Amino acid sequence: MRLMGLAAIQPEPRLSRPGEGRKIYPHPLNGVDITRVNPVWSTGVTYIRMREGFVCLVAVMDWYSRFVLSWELSLSLEIDFRITALKRALRRGRPEIFNSD
């Protein structure tokens, strides 16, 4: 598979570090007691470096079991691959809370 035109999609270094003087808020799910499968799911997109650029990976995961319910790869950050992963995960259950970045 050739990955053309992906050199522009690159994560910048240290993106998760807060800027100087920025207030850091606690995560809204800190302290939530999750005692069974399905009440909380999360999703996130990350980049995977390939020889000729990057691919984007999205995963939907159950917080209690840490089981990956579904995942998709894409050559772009268009929304379709994220919706596909979510629809596939929803075949397995319905979370009460869906956390995303």
Q: Given the DSSP bridges, would you call strands 97-100 and 68-74 parallel, antiparallel or unpaired?
A: unpaired
Q: Identify which has the larger pLDDT, 75 or 21.
A: 75
Helix (H) or strand (E) holding 43: strand 40-50
Are 42 and 63 spatial neighbours (Cβ–Cβ below 8 Å)? yes
Neighbours of 82 (CB within 10 A): 19
**The pair of three-digit structure tokens given for residue 76, joined into one six-digit string:** 């772009």
Q: Identify which has the larger pLDDT, 36 or 22.
A: 36
Distance CA 47, CA 10 (A): 8
- The 8-class DSSP code of residue 24 comes to P
- Residue-wise pLDDT for 12-31, tens only, equals 666 667 778 888 888 888 88
With 0.85 as the threshold, say if the pTM is over it: no
User: What is the amino acid identity at position 86?
Assistant: L
Are 29 and 40 spatial neighbours (Cβ–Cβ below 8 Å)? yes
* pLDDT beyond 60 at 9: no
